[in-house]
Amino acid sequence: MAQKKENKLEWAVVTGASKGLGYCYCEELLKLGYNVIAVARDTTPVATLQKKYPSQSIKMINYDLSILANCQKLFNEVQTDNVTILINNAGYGIWGYFNESSLEQEMNMIDLNIKALHILTKIFVQRFIEQNQGRVLNIGSLAAFTPAPVFASYYASKAYVWSLGVAINTELKKTKSPVRVITLCPGPLKTDFWNRSSNQHNAKYHSTVKVMKTSTYARKSLVKGLKVKRKNYIITESINKIVKKLTKWSPQSWVLTSVYNYQRKRK
């Protein structure tokens, strides 16, 4: 992909930007020549990128987007910036048996994973259509393609993200809009996601496949997400594509039992 060095005023908004995948997306965008608006509850870690990429501009906005009023505040705050990319990355999971997991935490997760993403997608798509340019990258997951006993609410939230994004992107294509909403569906990544999801400080991540480095996934998925024209969602790596096909064509009882056995051992 050609770098954006010719347009220093083009901005990308990244939510959940302080660590993990969001932080890596910020860096990859800076490498491509975009200026970045980093959004998180605490954006302090992003300051290191300002020193690393002095020729780019970085704005840091401290918002907890599970407080839904902050979504509109964020949108209002970037009205004067030439925003052409939104990456909805903020989110987390709640692991555990449904009858035992915290309802309060689950409702907060739904506010962030679903409601905040929905609001930001809506208002930025409206803006992008008006300016006849823009792209939303929503971070889904392989989790979108099957229910998951012992991780039920998180997988359900990612199914919503996938379904919403595919529908919106189809609308945009059918109406001949240049705007796109692309859903990125990563497999396992090396982040602290599992620690937060399981409420453990040193939780072990068990995976039957090789876990991709977060920075590698950010680079690969960003390039594809910004270039793709016809696809509604993107799955990288052959093993993840195979897993997706298996969940589609295998008997659901077999898939659910496999997921259950996998998830219940992850403590």
**210: pLDDT strictly greater than 70:** no
Instruction: Please report, for the chain, the start and end positions of each structural domain, with discontinuous segments joined by +.
Output: 10-263
Rg (CA), the chain: 18
For range 194-217, the mean pLDDT: 63
Q: Which residues, in sequence order, are CB contacts of 150 under 8 Å at separation 6+? A: 95, 96, 97, 259, 260, 263, 264, 266
Find out whether 20 and 43 touch, Cβ atoms under 8 Å.
Answer: no
Structural domain 10-263, CATH architecture: 3-Layer(aba) Sandwich (3.40)
Residue 250: its pLDDT value, please? 82
Q: How many CB atoms lie within 10 A of CB 236?
A: 17
Find out whether 63 and 69 touch, Cβ atoms under 8 Å.
Answer: no
Per mean pLDDT, which range of 170-179, 185-194, 248-257 is the poorest? 185-194
Residue 2: its pLDDT value, please? 44
Most confident region among 35-49, 202-216, 246-260 by mean pLDDT: 35-49
Residue 47: its pLDDT value, please? 95
Helices and strands (DSSP H and E) totals, the chain: 10, 7
Mean of all residue pLDDT scores within the chain? 89
**151: pLDDT strictly greater than 70:** yes
**74: pLDDT strictly greater than 90:** yes
Residue 204: its pLDDT value, please? 52
Q: Closest Cα to residue 59, out of 69, 47, 68, 70? A: 47
**255: pLDDT strictly greater than 60:** yes
Residues 105-122: tens digit of each pLDDT: 999 999 999 999 999 999
For range 18-23, the mean pLDDT: 96
pLDDT grade for 266, boundaries at 50, 70 and 90:
low
Q: Which residues, in sequence order, are CB contacts of 115 under 8 Å at separation 6+? A: 68
Please spell the DSSP secondary structure of 251-266, one letter per residue.
-HHHHHHHHHHHHTT-
**Burial of 153 (C-beta count, 10 Å sphere; 0-12/13-18/19+):** buried
Residue 5: its pLDDT value, please? 43
Task: Enter the pTM of the model.
Answer: 0.89
How far apart CA 106 and CA 101 sit, in angstroms, is 8
**Which two three-digit tokens encode residue 116?**
């905040």
